[in-house]
Amino acid sequence: GQQLNQSPQSMFIQEGEDVSMNCTSSSIFNTWLWYKQDPGEGPVLLIALYKAGELTSNGRLTAQFGITRKDSFLNISASIPSDVGIYFCAGQLGTGNQFYFGTGTSLTVIP
């Protein structure tokens, strides 16, 4: 299957700091999604991206669809304790195809 490399694997930051994480693939995707998973819960969709170069925000979160279509980035500004969780990227090769998930970035926010 497709390999999505997500980095960093984990992050420990101070409350109020900005966070950046990214996801790269060897294949070209036509859709990128970013999810957040809290402990004991299912992933929750944060942002969906459909076009190369697209920049989309959801509150303090901003995600970008890379120009090469092989990567995507997620930024969180002014982090707060409830941002703690695991963030997953997911990519889709084509409409109707399955999604491939990254291995996740674990975020810890220190108050």
Partner 1 sequence: DSGVTQTPKHLITATGQRVTLRCSPRSGDLSVYWYQQSLDQGLQFLIQYYNGEERAKGNILERFSAQQFPDLHSELNLSSLELGDSALYFCASSVLTSDNEQFFGPGTRLTVL
Q: Which stretch binds partner 1 (CB under 8 A): 10-18, 19-27, 73-81, 92-100?
A: 92-100
Q: How many CB atoms lie within 10 A of CB 55?
A: 12
- Smallest distance from the beta carbon of 40 to partner 1, in angstroms? 8
Q: Does 52 bind partner 1 (CB under 8 A)?
A: no
C-alpha to C-alpha distance for 96 and 17, rounded to whole angstroms: 38
- Smallest distance from the beta carbon of 106 to partner 1, in angstroms? 12
Q: Does 103 bind partner 1 (CB under 8 A)?
A: yes
Whichever of 7 and 103 has its CB closer to partner 1, that residue is 103
Query: For the chain, what is the radius of gyration of the CA atoms?
Result: 13
Q: Which stretch binds partner 1 (CB under 8 A): 14-22, 53-61, 75-83, 94-102?
A: 94-102
Q: Is 82 helix (H, G, I), strand (E, B) or coil?
A: helix
Which residues have a Cβ under 8 Å from the Cβ of 96 and sit 6 or more positions away? Answer: none
Q: 101 and 90 in contact (C-beta within 8 Å)?
A: yes
Q: Under the rule (CB under 8 A), what is the footprint of partner 1?
A: 1, 31, 33, 35, 40-45, 48, 50, 88, 90, 92, 95-104
